[in-house]
Amino acid sequence: MGLTGQTGAGKSTVAKQLKARGCVIIDCDAVTHDPSLYAGTCLTELQNAFGRAIIKEDGTLDRRRLANLAFASEEGKAKLNAITHPVILARLKKEIAAYKDAKVIVLDAPTLFEAGADRLCRRVVSVLADETVRLGRICRRDGLTEQEALTRMHAQQSDDFYIDRSDYTLDNTVAVSADDMDNMLAVLGCAHPGESD
């Protein structure tokens, strides 16, 4: 199952609820934050595209600086995606293969569609929330200024983009209840992972 949605919508909160129900969660943010993913050729390509300023003194990627540069324009975002998405997809395939006996595997992936990772999923769920609520969450979570947060938010797709491409959408402006989760799993045909078929 692919789990996606806009930044600050609360995908990780929904993922925790799915994990409590016995689903295996692959946190794509954790995968993409692994410095080893951007070593070698990938790091060289990022530097060529965005400049030496994205490299920290210790030789590793300065993710915040890269994000500010990449998300400033459609061209920058497209460059970033072209360089990083193939590397990320290859890693995700390995992660999924490691859980081949799991009943439900959830890819918690902010850029599920953009990276083409939806092709790895049988079902896709998008988590949406009010823009003002999302802005507050992002600033608190990532320690960003309001302008930095808005830049990231506006670099993402609209609600309709997610709704049109998903098998199910959850509104997490306030919270997602246990009943909401049970209803979603039932609609998607996912038996409770702890139950027998």
Binding site residue list for ATP:
8-13
Q: How far apart are CA 33 and CA 50, in angstroms?
A: 18
- DSSP string spanning 151-180? HHHHTSPPHHHHHHH-SEEEE-SS---HHH
**CA geometry: angle at 160 spanning 155 and 164, to 5°?**
120
Question: Which parts are annotated binding residues?
Answer: 8-13
- C-alpha gyration radius of the chain: 17
